[in-house]
Structure 1
């Protein structure tokens, strides 16, 4: 849910990395300009030879790309799991499904788009291909897809309808193309033992309708299956309009251990960057990482700069365990020095389904508004982006209960964070004390606080306190050890005060605060 944001102030914090309390000279927003306009690195090499202090110093110099900044501003995105599993009742398909099982009698992607718009989503991702290998568009490279179904006489194309509807309602288009492919394992080239070699993409098929068009071609290293994926990526990224996110997981097919397919990540990434340069690659991609669970929950302190290691063929992975409770603190960075190769801007995405399953099952119900609200505060409110799955049913519609729940969820977040009481209030920057004070003009009740760093300058805050002037004393209302792009905090009880202040007490480098919002919820 995108809440109104504004540049509130810029504060340059002492770069003394070991200090427990530092002076925070407050500067103007003009100080945020990058010298010479040079693009800073989003990934910096580290190794065992780095001291704990030097790793922290390097982490403080890591900056997000423009693509990552734009993605993090989305805050809340949607997933739509739809395919043969919708009709078989499975969560992981077998790959040998009869394509005729796919029969959405009332497919209406405009209904999807309206529901997503009304729920506050600005980007949605469709499962163009799940692990079963069944594809939702008219591909040239497999018979396991909509073109082989009697649905709409074999002329149906869910992706085409999805993309048109989303753009009609002002929503960005994302695609999920599973690396795993049970159908290609059974009847194709998945894990066939082929070696990487130079492949021409697209690989034209007999009677290919593109043969006379002189399509743009690429020569990329790939296995037989890697080339199959490249050809499908080429179709999706050249025939359906602009794509804003390409979503991969790292799933392997349910095959014997000696039949594992080594994915050609580097070639896939190269093709995506060439054909969709503005597309974010998640979550097995260089732009965005999986938070480590499917409950939609970020860590209490979620760092966007984390230690990573090379996992083969141009892919990077967590240096520490993916589910480690600490990924980016000083202690985590020090621990990772022996195994990590880089510190990288790799922000977290929190995926969760509105229902117990990822695909629609008639006997399941959507989560309550209270559950979704708690997830929002523990994802968007913890420096992450929420990816909420809403699965279409057998009709090809989002279920009525889910559509209603999305509207209720959006309205609830509006009530949690209504008008920012600090918007337009008098503020004072104290360079000596390193604080920003907000005078609301009169005593006001506050029970929600929202803070954000200007992440164009990295993630720097290691500890900050929010204080209210109660009587003649500044009282600590809440405190945090990380901020990042978004930190939304719920106070245990409302606090009434006229004057409020944010005080950063520890940081890695220069801190610039983009938002310090004060709210009284209406729930």
Structure 2
């Protein structure tokens, strides 16, 4: 699918063919726990993270989980020899557990590549909506460590634990993606009724014991993840239709189908998680309130700064999960995304889907290497930064250091050309600099002249050959 930008309601949308857009919640409530606030502030300074969607669905090279959801949407379409019969399809899909054997799985390799790219935190799918667990849960046998799964005999079979361990060694913040709904659980999709859509297929108020069993199932799995997997910094909860009915916003299309109260008792879950992991950030996506510690607009870049902590989660390819021959965004494109997101006060969580063999594509590694080359020179203008008006003008983007002592000016390349062409002069907003300022190009010793009369930075006719001029050049005003 071709990529394009669409300006709509002050939001840049990055379109893909897979799943609905998650926009940010309309309200935000700051946490009050000092440990949570401290970790939230630290997370906001990190700016660049890695998200990975991975499960048995990678074997078919299809969108994660959604093809077993009986909704008639573009991202839920079934393909292949079982597509004509829903129940045969689900049986074949769940049978992928018996062939899942990612023998190339090497999380140290991923951590090294992500660190070299300048990433600072990781969010890994411990369980997606289909219910297949990439960790050694004791609540179900539908898991990577089950004897039914070939990979269970591998020393690194507890995949989530190995991922967390590898990235933790490289000082990453650790995030556990966890789906609140579980389409494999008989306490969520009760076999007595056929599933109708993504939601629970019975009325929890009519069958309270079954719903209570599901709540305990979710609680127990999160308890496992927050006790047996080392330090965990972020609990990233997806599946926002599992929520109190009172929190449903009928103005949001995908929330219109939520008919029942699917309250899983977040206060109980949060108390347990923070007892196990003091200060852990909880991201109950799209459910506004005290358990959405930061907001997660999906495949979008807000056009202006937001007042709340937020993160854009965006795919490197077109799909969240592995698809053969996926089309990957260029390094130039991703660097520009990162710059624009940071200039609005947010973080970029960039997604890569591992293959069924347990590795990324060569193109993904290449993109991260190129992004890392730019970050190595200009990362100081990204980390620990905050927005600076006027934020963006044409191909110029502005940020400032957290303490306000340094201002940064990003001169972006053309979208079709990786290399930045520096102008002879650069006109800046009124009051942006003074005669006392020192202006330089990051990564070089080259000082630039400031013409106070014309409010312009003057570039030398022959700039230093040491300037890294791909994607964006950054000026520092001190």
- Relative to the length of structure 1, the TM-score reads 0.55
State the match for 1:84 in structure 2: 56
Q: Structure 1 CA distance, aligned partners of 2:320 and 2:176?
A: 16
1:387-442: CA deviations, max 9, x gaps? 1111111210122211111121122244556799xxxxxxxxxxxxxxxxxxxxxx
What secondary structure, in the 3-state scheme, does the structure 2 residue paired with 1:183 have?
coil
* Aligned pairs for 1:260-271 within 5 A: 261-271=262-272
Q: State the 1:167 CA deviation.
A: 2.1
1:476 aligns with 2:429: yes
Number of the residue aligned with 2:228 = 239
In structure 1, C-alpha distance between the alignment counterparts of 2:376 and 2:408, rounded to whole Å: 25
CA distance in 2, matches of 1:387, 1:465: 22
> Given that residues 398 and 408 in structure 2 are in contact (C-alpha distance below 8 angstroms), is that contact kept between their aligned partners in structure 1?
no
C-alpha RMSD of the superposition: 4.0
Cα distance per residue 1:251-270 (max 9 Å; x no partner): 34899855663332222212
Cα distance in 2 between the residues matched to 1:354 and 1:197: 42
Could you list the per-position Cα deviations for residues 151-204 of structure 1 after superposition, in whole angstroms to 9, with x for gaps in the alignment?
2345621112112211233323210111121111346895654469999xxxxx
Higher relative contact order (CA 8 A, sep 6+): 1
How far apart, CA to CA, are the structure 1 residues paired with 2:227 and 2:379?
40
The yes-or-no answer on 1:371 pairing with 2:326 is no
Say which SS state the counterpart of residue 220 (structure 2) adopts: helix
For structure 1, list consecutive stretches of 5 or more residues without a partner in the other structure: 1-40, 45-62, 200-221, 305-346, 421-446, 456-463, 467-473, 480-493, 503-517
Q: 1:107 and 1:271 mapped to 2: Cα distance?
A: 31
Q: Tell me the CA shift for residue 84 of structure 1.
A: 1.5
Does 2:321 align with 1:359?
A: yes
Change (3 A) 1:43 1:103: closer
Change in 2 beyond 3 A, CA 1:180/1:477: farther
Q: How far did residue 229 of structure 1 move? A: 0.6
Structure 1 partner of 2:423: none
- Residues 41-56 of structure 1: matches in 2 within 5 Å? 42=30
Match of 2:109 in 1: 111
Partner Cα distance (1:172, 1:258) in 2: 37
Distance in 1 (CA, whole Å) between partners of 2:120 and 2:127 is: 22
Tell me the distance in 1 between the aligned counterparts of 2:344 and 2:271.
31
**2:469 is the counterpart of 1:497:** no
Given that 1:134 and 1:144 are in contact with CA atoms closer than 8 Å, whether structure 2 keeps it comes out as yes
The count of aligned residue pairs is 328
Distance 1:130 1:274, change over 3 A: same
TM-score for the superposition, normalised by structure 2: 0.60
Are residue 389 (structure 1) and residue 351 (structure 2) matched?
yes
Kept in 2, the 8 Å contact 1:111–1:398? The answer is no
> Within 5 Å, which residues of 2 pair with 1:342-491?
347-415=309-377, 449-453=398-402, 476=429
Higher share of residues assigned strand:
1
- In the alignment, the residues of structure 1 paired with residue 191 and residue 122 of structure 2 have an alpha-carbon distance, to the nearest angstrom, of 30
Per the TM alignment, residue 243 of structure 1 is displaced from its structure 2 partner at its CA by 0.6
Q: Alignment partner of 1:182: what SS? A: coil
Unaligned runs of 5+ in 2: 1-28, 69-89, 193-199, 243-253, 383-395, 410-426, 433-446, 456-472
Q: For the Cα contact (< 8 Å) 1:298–1:384, is it kept in 2?
A: no
What is the match of residue 32 of structure 1?
A: none
Q: Max radius of gyration: which structure?
A: 1
Q: C-alpha displacement at 1:374, in angstroms?
A: 1.6
Distance in 1 (alpha carbons) for counterparts of 2:36 and 2:258: 37
